[in-house]
Amino acid sequence: MHRPSTTGTSPSPPSNAPWDSAPASPVSTNFAKRTDAPYLTFAALSQFPFLRHAFTLRLPGVPVAPDVRRGNSASAPSVAALQPPPHVGGYIDHGKVVRYHEDILNELNTTRTSLVSANQTHGSQIAIVRTRPRLPIPDADGLITKAAGLPLGVYVADCCAVFLVDHKTHAIGLLHSGRKGTLAHIAAGAIGSMQHAFQTDPSDVLAVLSPCVGPCHYEMDIPATIEQQLRGAGVRDVINPRICTACHLEQFYSYRAEKGQTGRMLAVMMMVPKPV
């Protein structure tokens, strides 16, 4: 049976509040119609009628695969050949993951074959997307576009997915920002790329940070650093939900807490095509 969405409406915590004390913006848990695949939406993004977005959660009934890519199994080559690239996670039943993601993308009125992704090298390169490429974009961790109907996607497990929306020009961006990308200032770089490519005014940008590993489980406060960099680049509206993936393994995958043997959350954002 399809379950209704649930919405958290807790107020924003003060800046010195502990992690997970309260979400900084209402966050809704939704369930896709056919498979009950769970995903989050953020109220700050849902306010825009020209936008669709989702952040998938831990998928029910899909155990993660052993980390065969490190060569710790005699059958590693044959097993690894059946697995997706490392940045999308390892699963026992990757086909089931595909079906779950397809169902969630259908909720956004798009398809998995339309998804634009990158190969995510933990760098700071930003790709400008004008048409859908046939393959994942090489050597990029950030995607920006003004093209409607092109769903952008990044995969994370402890790293932060950064949603960027210019509500004036309708340019959008989606970033994979882990430790290396954050230290390389990928978020500020994306704002600069949006300024150059789409004449974005940083003060017109809303930034929403996904759940990610918090300072309670990591030696660096990744989301606080991203927020500081975005504000330094001129972004005034930054939403940080302060939800730690490593603290909530029932909902999220965590590379650190699960010692590298884990899946990935998929972050998706798309501008809705105008009706003809």
Give the homologous superfamily in CATH for domain 6-271. CNF1/YfiH-like putative cysteine hydrolases (3.60.140.10)
Burial of 63 (0-12, 13-18, 19+ CB in 10 A): exposed
Token pair, residue 91, equals 């699963």
pLDDT confidence of residue 24: 54
Closest by CA position to 168, among listed 134, 140, 201, 130:
201
Query: In angstroms, what CA-CA distances link 29 with 7, 26, 43, 58, 240?
Result: 6, 10, 11, 12, 17
> What is the number of other CB atoms lying within 10 angstroms of the CB of residue 218?
16
| Contact by Cβ (8 Å): 206, 167 | yes
pLDDT confidence of residue 146: 98
pLDDT confidence of residue 4: 39
> What is the number of other CB atoms lying within 10 angstroms of the CB of residue 81?
8
pLDDT confidence of residue 66: 55
d(C-alpha 176, C-alpha 118), whole Å: 9
d(C-alpha 101, C-alpha 35), whole Å: 10
Q: What is the pLDDT along the chain (276 residues), one digit of tens a residue?
A: 444 344 443 333 333 444 554 455 678 999 998 889 999 999 999 999 999 999 999 988 888 875 444 333 322 233 333 334 555 666 767 888 889 999 999 999 999 999 999 999 999 999 999 999 988 999 999 999 999 999 999 999 999 999 999 999 999 999 999 999 999 999 999 999 999 999 999 999 999 999 999 999 999 999 999 999 999 999 999 999 999 999 999 999 999 999 888 889 999 999 998 875
Closest by CA position to 99, among listed 161, 145, 32, 165:
32
DSSP string over 25-84: S-EEEEE-TTT--EEEEEHHHHT-TTEEEEEE-PPTT-PBPP-GGGS-STTHHHHHHTSP
pLDDT confidence of residue 249: 93
pLDDT confidence of residue 27: 87
Length of the chain counted residue by residue: 276
Domains of the chain by residue range = 6-271
**Which stretches does DSSP call E strand in the chain?**
6-7, 27-31, 38-42, 51-56, 126-128, 142-145, 152-156, 160-166, 172-177, 205-209, 237-239, 265-271
Token pair, residue 39, equals 């995903």
End-to-end CA distance of the chain: 35
pLDDT confidence of residue 92: 66
Phi/psi region, residue 103 (left: phi>0; alpha: psi -120 to 50; beta: rest), is alpha
| Contact by Cβ (8 Å): 253, 262 | yes
Query: In angstroms, what CA-CA distances link 99 with 2, 31, 113, 134?
Result: 16, 14, 12, 20
What 8-state DSSP symbol labels residue 118? B
